[in-house]
Amino acid sequence: MKKGLLTTVAVVLSFLTFYYINMTKPPELVHRQLNEIADFSNPQLLAGAADNVFIGEVITEVSSRRPDGFPETQYAVQVKKNLKGTLNGNITVNQLGGFEKNPGGHRILVLYNEDALLKKGQTYLFATRYLRSEKWHTAFSTHGTVELKNMLETNPSIQQMTQALQSPIVPDALKKKTNDTTLD
């Protein structure tokens, strides 16, 4: 009887130790680079490529998927102000990157172009393209999710984007795509 109880306690302790070591340690961080169609550090190119540019607050993470084999994370975002486009209310913003598990079962955080994952309750300046098939707005990596400390017009990120929207430059790759496709 005591031997069986000791064995059970040992097994439970082993499981709890394994769980604690594997689930409470920080995930391994993996950086991947995306080859983008233009240099979106140029705000005029970003403004020209984006369907929508807006200020929004992240409400919560809603899901995580791997549509192309790489992690992407979706968030509910409340639109506070449009700079380009006519979004309102809560929308879904898709961000490239997220969590996955390696073959050993350990968590990995995959970030693209060193773009940190969005934070709940934080306000951002978003530049996005709408993906009709998923009904979400995919943020451009790095330059499409700028964390804001305030929403004032004097914020340098907002001023820079507002100025870029006055003379946007559509990237060549999107000009060809726009000319080759018909809208539904």
Q: Give the pTM.
A: 0.77
Q: What is the 3-state secondary structure (H, E, C) of the chain?
A: CHHHHHHHHHHHHHHHHHHHHHHHCCCEEEEECCCCCCCCCCHHHHHHHCCEEEEEEEEEEEEEECCCCCCEEEEEEEEEEEEECCCCCEEEEEEECEEEECCCCCEEEEEECCCCCCCCCCEEEEEEEEECCCCEEEECCCCCEEECCCCCCCCHHHHHHHHHCCCCCCCHHHHHHHHHCCCC
Ordered domains of the chain (ranges, CATH): 28-170 (2.40.50.120)
Walk along the chain (184 residues) and give the pLDDT tens digit of each residue: 566 666 665 665 566 556 665 556 677 766 566 666 666 778 898 899 999 999 999 999 999 887 777 899 999 999 999 999 999 999 999 999 888 888 888 887 877 778 889 999 999 999 999 999 999 999 988 788 899 987 666 788 899 999 999 998 887 777 765 544 433 3
